[in-house]
Amino acid sequence: MKNVSEFDISLKKLSWDKLFDSEEELVEAMMGCPVERTASRHGLVPKGYEYIAGFQRYYAKNRCLTDKQMTQLKRLAKSVYVGIKGMNVGGYIAMCW
């Protein structure tokens, strides 16, 4: 995982490869996000948590993601990054991840 400042996260549109070194690292980070528990406990949840929760279930069952799921996960890489790093940026409530 690359080191990106909270300033860059909040103000810049960053592609997934600016945040993670590889697709495998992105998938590992996604699997480390407890989004289902967070969604039920708190009113505010990270952007795309429904997708991420679904991807976690699919990956746990099949040990891979489809090409379309991987494309969507790359779009949500910023939410995954913020959740893993524990940042509180913009509309994200990451401290509860």
Whole-angstrom Cα distance, residue 38 to residue 4?
A: 24
pTM of the full predicted structure? 0.80
Q: How far is CA 70 from the centre of its chain?
A: 12
Per-residue model confidence as pLDDT tens digits over 6-24: 888 888 889 999 999 999 9
The structural domains of the chain, with segments of one domain joined by +, span 6-85
Whole-angstrom Cα distance, residue 12 to residue 31?
A: 25
Whole-angstrom Cα distance, residue 96 to residue 75?
A: 21
Per-residue model confidence as pLDDT tens digits over 73-92: 999 998 888 878 876 555 44
Q: Is the pLDDT of residue 1 over 80?
A: yes
Give Cβ neighbours of residue 4 (< 8 Å, ≥ 6 apart): 14, 18, 19, 81
Query: Average pLDDT in the 56-62 region?
Result: 96
